[in-house]
Amino acid sequence: MFWLTLIPVLLHLTRGNSPCLGRSLGISPCRTQFFKRESLRLYCGADERIMTNSKSVTCSQKRHECNITLAGVHHSGSYWCDSNSGERGEAVNITVTEGSVILESPVHPVPEGTSVTLHCLTSHKSSKKLVVVTRINQSCNFSRDGRLIGVGLTGEMSFAAVNRSHEGLYTCTFSGVESPGSWLAVRATSSPESLPPTSLPPSHHHRLLYAVRTLLLLVLLGVFGGCCWRTHKEPEAAASEDVTDGEVMLNRTDTHKV
């Protein structure tokens, strides 16, 4: 029981580090499209509650998590987290379909430059009449905004580094069956000009740190070199003073002799 109560706390602490959490609703499995009779779990932070525009959700909206054991088409809708102070998180559109093909894509907006892979999924029923979801490992067509953009020979399509031009409504088609549409949102990264004057991008921080270290090293070398120079010069100066004193004594002796 202790671990069951600890899981929501751990999920809340790791928000922002998981593609299924971001700054809003968490979903497990990590996707926005589901087959009919699938099970899924929705959750928010411990100090938040789940909200939706769907009037058919059976779990209470006053709770920070919700388990849907047998999803139906009526569970489709927009879901989000509300904090106790009334702040609303990013909404996630969930689709439950009676079809045989769905698209697995990022749940939340992804930053520019992120690698993204879309997967085409299908389902079948097990001997216990449970829905089993598997990735298609055959040729699938992928479309954006109704236009074919490519063929995934192994049921997937990857983008090495997405930008704003990759935004759009994506679908995948397998054996003539098209999945529901899923919106891929790309979030622009902050440019150096948009950062506060006191802030520096990570590369500038590294350069500044390197410059400071170099300066400190030069100062230390200078101090060490100065000490060595003084240590080396002091015996020479002492020897020079001894020679001068000797010459003075010789001069005095010569004077007395005269």
CA distance 114 to 19: 11
Answer yes or no: do 19 and 81 share one domain: yes
Please report the pLDDT score of residue 126 as a whole number.
78
Q: What is the pLDDT along the chain (258 residues), one digit of tens a residue?
A: 434 434 343 443 334 334 465 457 899 999 999 999 999 999 998 888 888 887 766 666 667 888 888 899 999 999 998 888 888 888 999 999 999 999 999 999 999 999 999 999 999 887 677 889 999 999 999 999 999 999 999 999 999 999 999 999 999 999 999 999 999 999 988 654 444 444 443 333 344 444 556 667 676 667 666 665 566 555 555 555 554 555 545 455 454 544
Contact 181, 156 (CB under 8 A): no
Please report the pLDDT score of residue 51 as a whole number.
86
Q: Which domain-ending residue is among 67, 98, 129?
A: 98
Please check whether residue 33 lies inside any domain of the structure: yes
CA distance 104 to 94: 12
Domain assignment of residue 106, given as a range: 99-189
Which letter, b or e, does each residue of 53-71 get, where b requires 16 or more Cβ atoms within 10 Å of its Cβ?
Answer: eeeebeeeeeebbbebeeb
Answer yes or no: do 105 and 157 share one domain: yes
Please check whether residue 250 lies inside any domain of the structure: no
Number of domains composing the chain: 2
Please report the pLDDT score of residue 213 as a whole number.
63
Global confidence as pTM = 0.65
Answer yes or no: do 117 and 161 share one domain: yes
Q: What is the CATH number of the domain that holds 15?
A: 2.60.40.10
